[in-house]
Amino acid sequence: MAERQRMLLLGGTGEAAALAARLAGDEWVDVTTSLAGRTRTPGELAGRVRTGGFGGADGLAAYLKTEHIDLLIDATHPYAARMPHAAAEACARMGVPRLRLLRPPWVPVTGDRWIAATNLAAAAAMLPGLAMRVFLTTGQRDLDAFESLTGLWFLIRLIEPPAEAIPLAHCQVHLDRGPFRVEDEIALLRKHRIEAVVSKNSGGAATTGKIAAARILGLPVIMIDRPAQPSGETVDTIDACLAWIGARVG
């Protein structure tokens, strides 16, 4: 039997976890999922896992070489700003085939009141005058951008207790892990008398409930643009990803 191909799966998303589960025990592919290590309690992952940064494109290129990686799937989050570029550079340098698995963004539908923001700072600048009570779902590392808004109150949803002090003057932390149901999101927004939602356009079903809830309640959503992606092959479903892998192994 031919040797199994060694695949590096850049993870940190539900798609990566689902792909690792689909490939667990595969006779053609031997998968290692890589996590940045930011989440202290990542969900259950099938197969081998490594944790921690590689040290930029140079470090990743060295890892690809020493670990004899044959192919790489970049299934990092749409807002992972650095890893996809480092992966593109390292794979190009080492001649390792790379595929970006990127979930499609949400698109506004009738009734949505979205306001596009190019980045977090632009989103923060839009809030005064728009809302006094804000639901922030951008993640703990992105809170600094809202620090100067001392006259506003924030409901901050996080997956796990904050590792550092929250930099916002008036806020409440709400710990919860998706998927979130629309009716629960409506109840949450009503309970805290939220007037605007700030969100990344993460796409996917698990966190879309707040977008539907804002629509139903007529609330504005400040939607932060996705960062630019490196060029190269991109798919938006796990099945398409498996087809790409299948064409290269076996």
Binding residues for ligand NAP (CB under 6 A): 10-13, 34-36, 38, 53-56, 59, 76-77, 79-83, 86, 139, 200
Query: What span, in angstroms and rounded, lies between the C-alpha atoms of 135 and 138?
Result: 9
Name the residue nearer to ligand NAP (CB basis): 100 or 195: 100
How many whole angstroms from its chain centre is CA 46?
Answer: 19
In angstroms, give the least distance from the CB of 132 to ligand NAP: 26
| Shortest Cβ 88–ligand NAP spacing (Å) | 12
**Least distance (Å) from ligand NAP to the CB of residue 191?**
25
Kindly write down the DSSP assignment for every residue of 124-158, as one continuous string.
Answer: HHH-TTT-SEEEE-S-GGGGGGGTT-TTSEEEEEE
| Residue 16 beta carbon to ligand NAP: minimum distance, rounded to whole angstroms | 7
Which residue number, 157 or 195, has a Cβ lying nearer to ligand NAP?
157
Tell me which residue has tokens 């400040």: 222
Q: Which is nearer to ligand NAP, 9 or 152 (CB)?
A: 9
> What is the number of the residue whose Cβ is closest to ligand NAP?
53
Q: Which residues of 108-128 are buried (b: 16+ CB within 10 A; e: fewer)?
A: eeeebebeebeebeebbebbe
Going by the DSSP 8-state scheme, the letter that residue 230 receives in this structure is -
Q: Please report how close the Cβ of residue 12 comes to ligand NAP at its closest, in angstroms.
A: 3
For residue 76, the minimal CB distance to ligand NAP (Å) is 3
Nearer to ligand NAP, 106 or 195 (CB): 106
Which of residues 12 and 195 has its CB atom nearest to ligand NAP in the complex? 12
- Whether 220 contacts 115, CB under 8 Å: yes
Cis preceding-peptide flag for 179 (omega within 30 of 0):
yes
Structure tokens at 108: 């506004």
Closest to ligand NAP by CB, 41 or 150: 41
Which SS3 state, helix, strand or coil, does residue 173 take? Answer: strand
